[in-house]
């Protein structure tokens, strides 16, 4: 694949190189010298110790990426970034400022593949894993359920009894607005619910963050302490 191919949501332009350099980036880090490509509203899933969160990839290079969040940036040092096609990249946090953070990939990546997100399947919305108790009302009956994953457009739920495909349902989960929709598929006791009203992007990201408050691990605290000491903090 050629490096000039443009995938969905790509602005084929070099990202500016005049941004302020973080004290956490070593002066000799040659990854900052490689080409960076700015992306337009490319969403991805960030996986860390506290859970899975929505992020916007602002720009990417073979060595790293800059992400923007609709809430505070996660405190973890080591994380994974997963694209809509399921490709996953190990990363290390290099700097963060409010809702923005810079990450270095664990190894050099194929930028063309990152931008194009090749997949044999039709592009699907990002699904983020959650384990939350839920109440589903369908056919005039309340059913206790578990929310398994969530996207802007729908949810996967597991119930103790089967609900007919095509049934109209009401989903209640503590911390989320009530959602109505239709059961669009069923596999044993797992069901897919397509919402009548999708979440707006920012609304979706903030709800995910509220449902999964960041947990700072002991390892992350030690990393932050070491970095502060190295920077003279």
Rounded average pLDDT over 73-83: 93
Q: Is the pLDDT of residue 80 over 90?
A: yes
Q: What is the pTM of this model?
A: 0.76
* Mean of pLDDT over the chain: 83
Q: Is the pLDDT of residue 226 over 70?
A: no
CA distance 139 to 191: 15
Q: Is the pLDDT of residue 20 over 60?
A: no
Output 25 or 72, whichever has higher pLDDT.
Answer: 72
Give pLDDT, residue 21: 38
- The pair of structure tokens assigned to 111 is 């930028």
End-to-end distance of the chain based on CA atoms, in angstroms?
45
Do 11 and 38 form a contact (C-beta atoms < 8 A)?
Answer: yes
pLDDT in tens, 174-192: 999 999 999 999 999 999 9
CA distance 196 to 58: 30
Output 103 or 96, whichever has higher pLDDT.
Answer: 103
Domains of the chain: 10-15+32-124 (2.40.10.220), 128-199 (2.40.10.220)
Contacts 24+ apart (CB under 8 A), 174-181: 174/132, 174/133, 175/132, 175/207, 175/210, 175/211, 176/207, 176/211, 177/207, 179/155, 181/154
Longest Cα–Cα distance in the chain? 65
pLDDT in tens, 116-149: 999 998 888 899 999 999 999 999 999 999 999 9
CA nearest neighbour of 219 among 51, 29, 92: 92
Q: Is the pLDDT of residue 2 over 80?
A: no
Contacts 24+ apart (CB under 8 A), 84-91: 84/43, 84/44, 84/117, 84/119, 84/123, 84/124, 84/125, 84/126, 85/117, 85/118, 85/119, 85/121, 85/123, 86/119, 87/113, 87/114, 87/117, 88/47, 89/114, 91/64, 91/65
Q: How confident is the model at residue 216 (pLDDT cuts 50, 70, 90)?
A: low
Give pLDDT, residue 221: 52
Exposed, middle or buried: residue 230 (CB in 10 Å: 0-12, 13-18, 19+)?
exposed
């Amino acid at each position: 694949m050629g490096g000039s191919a443009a995938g969905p949501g790509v602005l084929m332009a070099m990202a500016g190189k005049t941004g302020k350099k973080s004290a956490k980036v070593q002066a000799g880090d040659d990854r900052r010298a490689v080409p960076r490509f700015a992306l337009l509203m490319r969403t991805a899933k960030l996986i860390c110790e506290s859970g899975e969160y929505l992020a916007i990839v602002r720009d990417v290079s073979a060595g790293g990426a800059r992400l923007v969040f609709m809430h505070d940036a996660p405190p973890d040092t080591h994380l994974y970034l997963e694209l809509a096609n399921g490709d996953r990249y190990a990363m290390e946090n290099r700097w963060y400022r409010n809702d923005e953070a810079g990450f270095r990939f664990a190894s050099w990546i194929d930028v063309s593949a990152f931008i194009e997100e090749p997949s044999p399947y039709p592009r699907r919305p990002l699904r983020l894993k959650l384990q939350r108790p839920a109440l589903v009302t369908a056919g005039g009956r309340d059913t206790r359920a578990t929310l398994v994953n969530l996207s802007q457009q729908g949810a996967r739920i597991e119930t103790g009894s089967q609900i007919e495909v095509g049934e109209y349902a009401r989903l209640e989960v503590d911390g989320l607005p009530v959602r109505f929709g239709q059961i669009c598929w069923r596999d044993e006791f797992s069901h897919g619910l397509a919402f009548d009203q999708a979440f707006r992007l920012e609304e979706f990201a903030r709800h995910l963050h509220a449902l999964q408050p960041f947990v700072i691990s002991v390892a992350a605290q030690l990393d932050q302490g070491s970095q502060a000491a190295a920077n003279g903090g």
